[in-house]
Amino acid sequence: MKQISFIHMADLHLDAPFSSLADVDKASIRRNELVNCLQSIVEKVRAQNVELLIISGDFFEDSSVRGSTILTAKNLFSELYKTEIIIIPGNHDPIRENSYYKVSKWSSNVHILEDSGQVLYLEKYNACIYNMGARGDVTKDCLTIFDKDISSERFNILIFHGTVDIPFEEENYNSITSKEIFSLGMDYVALGHMHCYSRLQNGRTVMINPGSPEPMGFDEEGEHGYIQGRIILSEENQKSVEAEFVHSATRHYYNVEINVNNCTCAEEIIEKMRLAEQLKLFQTDLYSITFKGFVPKEYIIGIKSILEAFQQSCFFMKIKNQTSIQFDYEQYLEDPGIKGEFVRRILDMQENETLAERRETLHMALQYGLQAIESGRIDQ
């Protein structure tokens, strides 16, 4: 039996600005944590003698990466004497003349792929590494690889940074179908670009996008990590892929809605937040809180004081106020028109309703209905 081991990561985005945090110090902490994440992965590669470290694009943020960060990465890679590091550029670290991929001298075990016409053959592992999309013409690259003589006696790996099985729209980077990729007959396809984990398999070909090892923003909830695996060639010349998702995120992002109906002060909102089952606060994590519901017209929510109450409970919190003005329905009771008729009917239904949940639903219907009648819109 023969085999080749690998760790597959993507979309680390070294030196990403984290501007959405609007906090210089915390953004700096997050950037340092990206470097720490790389160091942790490299240490695992070294400790377990992993043969290939595959990086499927967006290794760094080209517009903001510092030379010192690149130097750190280069030094880490140069210490992996027994490992081949294979990188394909992505849309955030594209190949261009003044890119660090071009102007920096990387150690001999680092291979930066940019031409689908060239196959990286690693003789000591009997492995062929293919790539496509580095220059942006993924359809042409796919055809180029399809025309090659791919030997089943070798380990065949394709590295690709792009969009798979998503409608081909102009904003989708390097769009292609999984059917086209599977037609190439690879053993393992190392994807990058989308920041969430996905796995597809067709026959012996396994295609995995590990997602980003660290989440980059509030649109990236859930677990984040990388792939550790191996490709096995049996004595009967049968291949199989073993691949495991490894959790690596230091922090997690959460989006939470809080209903602040009828609250008249910050203390009431803070209490609702503390009691909300959907809001479990961890000191390491980041939270985007959205207030929903109806509050009295005279009450202006003081977001700053609410944030101060939770500043020791989590790493970062921001609040969006999407509440609406609460209508005083009693002023409509004597109205002879449609507004009065609507209010009277809802209140009659409320009075005859025994279930508290149903009464609350009718109250919300009353508020939304008056909002629609008064302003011609409903705030959701």
217/161 same-domain check: yes
Q: With cut-offs at 50, 70 and 90, classify the pLDDT of residue 375.
A: low
Residue 122 domain-assigned (yes or no)? yes
Q: Which of 196, 212, 247 is the last residue of a domain?
A: 247
User: Between these two residues, 137 and 330, which has the higher pLDDT value?
Assistant: 137
Q: With cut-offs at 50, 70 and 90, classify the pLDDT of residue 351.
A: confident
Residue 380 domain-assigned (yes or no)? no
pLDDT at residue 377, as a whole number:
64
Query: In this predicted model, what pLDDT tens digit does every residue of 18-38 receive, in sequence order?
Result: 998 989 999 999 999 999 999
Instruction: Tokens for 11, please give them.
Output: 């979309």
21/88 same-domain check: yes
pLDDT at 376 over 80: no
DSSP class of 63: T
Q: With cut-offs at 50, 70 and 90, classify the pLDDT of residue 313.
A: very high
Residue 286 domain-assigned (yes or no)? yes
276/215 same-domain check: no
Query: What is d(CA 184, CA 205) in angstroms, rounded to the nearest whole number?
Result: 9
* CATH number of the domain within which 124 lies: 3.60.21.10
- Which residues partner with 52 through β-bridges? 6, 84
Range of the domain at 274: 253-375
pLDDT at residue 344, as a whole number:
85
Give residue 326's region: left, alpha or beta (phi > 0; psi -120 to 50): beta
User: Between these two residues, 373 and 124, which has the higher pLDDT value?
Assistant: 124
Q: Which of 219, 247, 275 is the last residue of a domain?
A: 247
Q: Tell me how far CA of residue 151 lies from CA of 127, 129, 237, in angstroms.
A: 10, 12, 12
pLDDT at residue 236, as a whole number:
84
331/218 same-domain check: no
Residue 315 domain-assigned (yes or no)? yes
Q: Which of 247, 274, 296 is the last residue of a domain?
A: 247
8/134 same-domain check: yes
| Range 369-375 average pLDDT | 75
235/273 same-domain check: no
pLDDT at residue 379, as a whole number:
60
Give residue 166's region: left, alpha or beta (phi > 0; psi -120 to 50): beta
Number of domains in the chain: 2
Query: In this predicted model, what pLDDT tens digit does every residue of 139-155 receive, in sequence order?
Result: 888 888 888 888 888 99
Residue 99 domain-assigned (yes or no)? yes
Query: In this predicted model, what pLDDT tens digit does every residue of 104-140 receive, in sequence order?
Result: 999 999 999 998 888 999 999 999 999 998 887 888 8
54/116 same-domain check: yes
Query: In this predicted model, what pLDDT tens digit does every residue of 161-212 receive, in sequence order?
Result: 999 988 766 567 888 999 999 999 999 999 999 999 999 999 989 999 999 9
Query: In this predicted model, what pLDDT tens digit does every residue of 69-92 receive, in sequence order?
Result: 999 999 999 999 999 999 999 999
Residue 39 domain-assigned (yes or no)? yes
67/199 same-domain check: yes
Angle CA 96–102–104, to nearest 5: 140
Least Cα distance to 221 among 254, 184, 197, 261 occurs for: 254
Least Cα distance to 250 among 33, 48, 46 occurs for: 33
Q: With cut-offs at 50, 70 and 90, classify the pLDDT of residue 68.
A: very high
Query: In this predicted model, what pLDDT tens digit does every residue of 225-277 receive, in sequence order?
Result: 999 999 999 888 889 999 999 999 999 999 999 999 889 999 999 999 999 99
pLDDT at residue 339, as a whole number:
81
